[in-house]
């Protein structure tokens, strides 16, 4: 087990999580390659129509995280727009029915009770519109920037850590903690004197 010399945190957890992320990345890359090979084989054997059915789902496997965020933001916006349209149409129908029966009430006052279902439909439509406006997309979620604004994805060589000489200067530190208990041990030695 290794611990941080400054704060005493267990570094085994960090090591394990980094190892798991490498395993996940490697397995994801391998799975994508297998899917691409299977799709190429289907095309080669003449079953291209099966590939066209699966192509939209396969494309999702090959998208980068920024592309995935853009797709999810677009889907959220589309569902929000669908709710707004549906609510507007429902509210308009309810308002129209209410107005029709209110006008019919001028001819015969017994028709006033028929305006209630129209008012009910109007309120349902208004509720759907409010749901689309305020509750469909979480307030903290911002749309991902367009592809033109996104920096290009780094190459694998660019992700390699820089050499240690460039990270740390050669100047020695004036004070360095050697372990979690170093200061306590030093304090005990001073108190005994």
- pLDDT in tens for each of the 193 residues of the chain? 777 777 777 877 777 777 666 566 677 778 778 888 887 887 888 877 777 777 777 777 777 788 888 888 888 888 889 999 999 999 999 999 999 999 999 998 888 888 899 999 999 999 999 988 888 765 445 544 555 555 555 554 555 555 545 444 555 555 555 555 556 656 666 666 5
User: Is the CB of residue 91 less than 8 Å from the CB of residue 126?
Assistant: yes
Per DSSP, helices labelled H in 45-138 are: 48-61, 65-107, 115-134
User: Is the CB of residue 131 less than 8 Å from the CB of residue 83?
Assistant: yes
Distance between CA 43 and CA 63 in Å, rounded? 21
Query: Locate tokens 């959220």: which residue?
Result: 76
> What token pair was written down for 28?
């994801």
User: Is the CB of residue 88 less than 8 Å from the CB of residue 81?
Assistant: no
Buried b / exposed e over 78-101, threshold 16 CB at 10 Å, is eebeebbeebeebbeebbebbeeb
> Which residues, at least 6 apart from 120, have a Cβ–Cβ distance to it below 8 Å?
94
- Single pTM value for the model: 0.46
> What token pair was written down for 162?
């820089």
> What token pair was written down for 20?
């798991």
User: 3 in helix, strand or coil?
Assistant: strand
pLDDT recorded at residue 140 = 47
pLDDT recorded at residue 144 = 47
C-alpha closest to that of 90 among 131, 144, 52:
131
User: Is the CB of residue 111 less than 8 Å from the CB of residue 71?
Assistant: no
Query: Locate tokens 């090959």: which residue?
Result: 62
pLDDT recorded at residue 172 = 53
User: Is the CB of residue 140 less than 8 Å from the CB of residue 73?
Assistant: no
Taking the mean position of all CA atoms in its chain, how far away is CA 133? 20
Query: Locate tokens 């759907």: which residue?
Result: 128
């Amino acid at each position: 087990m290794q611990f941080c010399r400054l704060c005493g945190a267990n570094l085994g957890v960090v090591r394990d999580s980094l190892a798991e992320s490498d395993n996940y990345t490697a397995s994801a890359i391998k799975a994508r390659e297998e899917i691409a090979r299977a799709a190429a084989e289907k095309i080669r054997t003449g079953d291209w129509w099966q590939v066209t059915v699966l192509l939209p789902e396969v494309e999702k496997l090959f998208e980068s995280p920024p592309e995935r965020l853009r797709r999810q933001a677009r889907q959220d916006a589309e569902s929000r727009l669908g709710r707004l349209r549906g609510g507007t149409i429902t509210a308009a129908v309810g308002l129209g029915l209410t107005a029709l029966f209110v006008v019919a009430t001028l001819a015969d006052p017994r028709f006033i009770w028929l305006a209630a279902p129209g008012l009910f439909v109007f309120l349902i439509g208004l509720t759907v519109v409010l749901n689309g406006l305020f509750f469909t997309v979480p307030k903290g979620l911002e749309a991902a920037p367009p592809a033109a604004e996104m920096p290009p994805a780094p190459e694998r060589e660019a992700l390699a850590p820089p050499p240690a000489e460039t990270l740390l200067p050669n100047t020695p530190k004036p004070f360095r903690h050697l372990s979690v208990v170093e200061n306590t041990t030093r304090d005990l030695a001073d108190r005994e004197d």
